Amino acid sequence: MVLHTHVTPETHQHSENVWNPHNESIGNTPLVELTNLSKNLSPNVRVMAKAEWLNLSGSVKDRAAKNIIETALAEGKLGNGQRLIDATSGNTGIGYATAGKMLNVPVTLVMPENVSQERIMILRALGAELILTPAAIGIDGAIGIVQDMVAKEPDKYFHADQYGNPANWKAHYKHTGPEIWEQTNHQITHFVAAVGTGGTITGTGTFLKEQNPAIRIVSVQPDKPKHGIQGIKHLATAIVPPIYNPDIVDDTIIVNLDQAKDMARRLSQEEGLLVGLSAGAAATAALQLAETLDEGIVVTVFPDGGFKYLSMDIWK
């Protein structure tokens, strides 16, 4: 798929007129400041969020999906008809499915049946093969099913393995971290991120600590195993993703579903930011932390937008 910004007879010879979404619309997202929600903070404290819903397929996971697929293609693990397969709670799958169509890679996704209907509909629209697994076995059960399928037919599949593939966290080490470092003029003091695979926090956190070891890296986690905040993990009871590096994490803030929903509602109604539940969780933690500071720049990540959650009871 290519989109022409100016269609002229010479377009096919002049590639500067051609938008390549896979290359140009993933990453380099803006940093938005939560000015209204920060009103009661100390005047020297600012809270900002990376607007990751502006990535091509609508979430932070475009970054990981792009780097995982490009690395596999470069290493010859994909591209000879192998199907990319992975377990996903939705967003990584949407990233794979989008990139898969653009780069001609067939995609199979194994996903818990209780993810939002919007995610399933989007993936069907993008033509990915979907295998829905019982809600009771969760994402860890879906991971097990992928492992069995790959073990049975190793030549058919490339296991993208977002939970164990270093190309996931390296996408954030190479891009998300440097972007935040530059966008804050090297002034960031705290980085707050919700943890799913741990790719965002590990890659971004590692880069930021290398620039300035005083930057505090704070993880956001749900309060219980069946927490209802899609895309993030309760690490105390879940399989800890191999790419998650706890050594760079200084603190953890626990957020529950009600807090995430309330904050998602406040973000849309007070800031005009229609974002998802994990963004609500991230903002809850970032603002809680900011309340304890006299000065600083707290940066968090809003992983996706609110459209995929409209069927839930958040804004009703």
Active site residue 278: yes
Please select the residue that binds ligand PMP; options are 57, 71, 116, 197, rule is CB under 6 A.
197
Burial (Cβ within 10 Å: 0-12, 13-18, ≥19) of residue 136: exposed
Q: Is position 194 an interface residue for ligand PMP (rule: CB under 6 A)?
A: yes
Please select the residue that binds ligand PMP; options are 93, 138, 199, 306, rule is CB under 6 A.
199
Q: Is position 55 an interface residue for ligand PMP (rule: CB under 6 A)?
A: no
Q: Is position 29 an interface residue for ligand PMP (rule: CB under 6 A)?
A: no
Please select the residue that binds ligand PMP; options are 53, 205, 304, 309, rule is CB under 6 A.
304
Q: To the nearest whole angstrom, how small is the minimum distance from the Cβ of residue 274 to ligand PMP?
A: 14
Q: Could you say which residues in the range 126-155 bind ligand PMP, by CB under 6 A?
A: none
Q: Is position 200 an interface residue for ligand PMP (rule: CB under 6 A)?
A: yes
CB 197 within 8 A of CB 241: yes
Contacts 24+ apart (CB under 8 A), 268-271: 268/306, 268/315, 270/36, 270/37, 271/32, 271/34, 271/35, 271/36, 271/37
| In the block, residue with structure tokens 């269609």 | 7
Please select the residue that binds ligand PMP; options are 55, 89, 108, 259, rule is CB under 6 A.
89
Q: To the nearest whole angstrom, how small is the minimum distance from the Cβ of residue 204 to ligand PMP?
A: 9
Q: Is position 91 an interface residue for ligand PMP (rule: CB under 6 A)?
A: yes
- Of 41 and 209, which has the nearer Cβ to ligand PMP? 209
* C-alpha angle 308-176-276 in degrees, rounded to nearest 5: 20
Across 211-238, b (16+ Cβ under 10 Å) vs e yields eeeebbbbbbbbeeeebebbbbbbbeeb
Task: Show Cβ contacts of residue 154 under 8 Å, excluding neighbours closer than 6 positions.
Answer: none
Q: In angstroms, rounded to a whole number, what is the distance separating the alpha carbons of residues 171 and 177? A: 9
Q: Give the residue nearest to ligand PMP (CB).
A: 231
Burial (Cβ within 10 Å: 0-12, 13-18, ≥19) of residue 59: buried
DSSP 163-229: TT-HHHHHHIIIIIHHHHHHHTTT---EEEEE-SSSHHHHHHHHHHHHH-TT-EEEEEEESSSS---
Size of residue set near ligand PMP by CB under 6 A = 19
Please select the residue that binds ligand PMP; options are 71, 176, 230, 284, rule is CB under 6 A.
230
- Of 41 and 139, which has the nearer Cβ to ligand PMP? 139
Identify which range of 106-114, 207-215, 224-232, 245-253 contacts ligand PMP by CB under 6 A.
224-232
Identify which range of 9-17, 26-34, 142-150, 189-197 contacts ligand PMP by CB under 6 A.
189-197
Identify which range of 109-117, 128-136, 153-161, 225-233 contacts ligand PMP by CB under 6 A.
225-233
Please select the residue that binds ligand PMP; options are 138, 196, 296, 305, rule is CB under 6 A.
196
| Active site residues per annotation | 61, 278
Site of interaction with ligand PMP (CB under 6 A): 59-61, 89, 91, 194-200, 230-232, 276, 278, 303-304
